[in-house]
Amino acid sequence: MSAFAEVTERKGSRTRKRRVAMEPARAPRAVEPSVSPRERLPYLLDLYPLESPTQTRLAPFFDALREGRFVTTRCRKDGKVLWPPRIVCPACHSGELEWVDLPTTGRIYAFSALLAGAPIGQEAELPLVVGLVELDGSPLRLFGRFLGIDWRECRIGLPVAFEALTLPDGRAYFAFRVKP
C-alpha cells in the first residue's frame, strides 16, 4: 500500500500543489555492540566522548590523559588558551592551534553535591561532588568531579590535583582529587 503526501512548490509568484508517493519506512540495520549490553550507555546519555582519531580531531587530548598528562589547545595567532580543547579558535577563527600542558593543581572555586539523579552508570557512586577548579598559574576555571572528599566536608579554596581516570571500556577521562 502506497501513501501519498501533498507537496507545495513555489516558482516565482506561482504556487503549485502536487501529490508525491512516499516510500514505507525501512527498519534500521542491526549493529553489533562494541561493549557488553550491561556496560553500554544510551548514545545521548553517554557522558564520555568517543576518543579515537577516526571519531574526533581532539584525540591527542585523550591520548595525553592516558599518559597522565593534562593538556588543552592554544591559538598560535592570538595566544588564547582554550578550554575545552578546540579545533578552531572561537575568537579569531584560526585553525592554527597547538597542544599545551595545563597546570595539574588548583583550588576549588565553587562546588555542588549531587545527592540524587546521578548520570546513568554512576548511580552507585552517589553522592557526587562536582564544581569549578581555578587552575594554579592559568586563567582557566574548569568544571569537573571531585574525588576523595565527602560532600559535607568540601569547602571553597581547598587544594585539588588533576587525576587521569580510565573507564571500564578503556576510554580516558579526568577528575580532581582533593588534597588533604
Residue 45 in domain? no
Residue 68 in domain? no
pLDDT number for residue 25: 55
CATH number for the domain including 108?
2.40.50
Residue 35 in domain? no
| Alpha carbon distance, N-terminus to C-terminus of the chain | 71
Residue 179 in domain? yes
Mean pLDDT (the chain, rounded): 85
Following DSSP, what letter does each residue of 4-28 receive, concatenated? EEEEEEEETTEEEEEEEEEPPPPPP
- Number of structural domains the chain divides into: 1
Give the residue numbers spanning the domain of 168: 104-180
Q: ∠ at Cα 62 (53, 47), nearest 5°?
A: 100
Residue 156 in domain? yes
Select the more confidently predicted residue: 74 or 35: 74
Whole-prediction pTM value?
Answer: 0.71
DSSP character for 102? P
Select the more confidently predicted residue: 79 or 44: 79
Residue 80 in domain? no
**Contact present, 82 and 73 (Cβ < 8 Å):** yes
Residue 129 in domain? yes
- Model confidence at 118, pLDDT cuts 50, 70, 90, reads confident
Residue 147 in domain? yes
The tens digit of pLDDT for each residue in 37-51 reads: 445 544 455 666 678
In terms of Cβ atoms closer than 10 Å to its own Cβ (0-12, 13-18, 19+), residue 97 is: buried
